[in-house]
Amino acid sequence: MYLMRIGAPGAEKPAVRVDDTHYIDVSDLTPDFDERFFAQGGVALLADRVANGEIRELAGERIGAPIARPHQILCIGLNYSDHAAETGQAVPAEPILFTKSPNTLVGPYDDVRIPRGATKTDWEVELGIVIGKRTSYLDSVEEARDAIAGYCVVNDVSERAFQMERGGQWSKGKSAETFNPAGPWLVTPDEIADVTSLGIWLDVNGVRRQTGTTATMIFDPYVIVHHLSQFMVLEPGDLINTGTPPGVGMGHDPQIWLQPGDVMELGIDGLGSQRQHVQGPR
């Protein structure tokens, strides 16, 4: 199943994608794809509607993030060995965790805004995991499969000067408004043959900057969820960004940073693609 949310920012309605131009409205079954929906096993409640519901045309409506604002956005750093190498950092022995403000979440085609004082704004295409049930202290990596509601494309936009040069934690370089485009869909696990072998890519202004595959992740999605569950309670609807392959602006020589007017296009096999225009500071 491909879950999506349609409508103006703050007024999105839940829907299920049929194809690129059609959807089925499920807003009478659930007010949103939020913590309560996932906690109640909401995907199963949609099956009859998906099989028999009225198919509607998308007709140019805005597509929002596929989930409501989550309880938390958790991020895994340096999760591809070749990306660690391009940043000059060691391959981690266990997942590196940082957080991103939940209000960074925007739709897959919404503008990305460079924050005030920024000088080194960067791109990062990533696989996103959405948690499907309240999860803590999983006994095995295999158990993590049952805790995952689905997967989506995310762009972990980063301001490297804030992240690397201003002291403290990475989060302040990750949490500017619009810094987490997600979607266009949340794809349930049954639709994906092998989440550990998906092509992943990103272009800036039509030039390919990132090419990779989830097969080269250091820690796969199940390891990540199991690991995080040992340190915190994962809530239904939480989003986990799982790291990026090589090709970020920071890794180029000379380095390349996003500028107002740039266009980012990115995607993951089977999970759809995104397109964002970069805007200057407010």
Given this model, what pLDDT does residue 83 score? Answer: 73
For the chain, residues with pLDDT lower than 70 are none
Given this model, what pLDDT does residue 76 score? Answer: 97
Show contacts of 261-265: CB within 8 Å, 24+ apart. 262/204, 262/205, 263/204, 263/205, 263/206, 264/112, 264/123, 264/155, 264/202, 264/203, 264/204, 265/202, 265/203, 265/206
Given this model, what pLDDT does residue 81 score? Answer: 80
| Cα dihedral sign, 260-265-267-272 | positive
Given this model, what pLDDT does residue 91 score? Answer: 84
Q: Which domains does the chain have, with CATH numbers?
A: 2-64 (no CATH), 73-279 (3.90.850.10)
| Closest to 33 in 3D by CA, of 152, 176, 208, 195 | 152
pLDDT in tens, 181-224: 999 999 999 999 999 999 999 999 999 999 999 999 999 999 99
Radius of gyration of the chain (CA): 18
pLDDT in tens, 33-43: 999 999 999 99
Given this model, what pLDDT does residue 105 score? Answer: 98
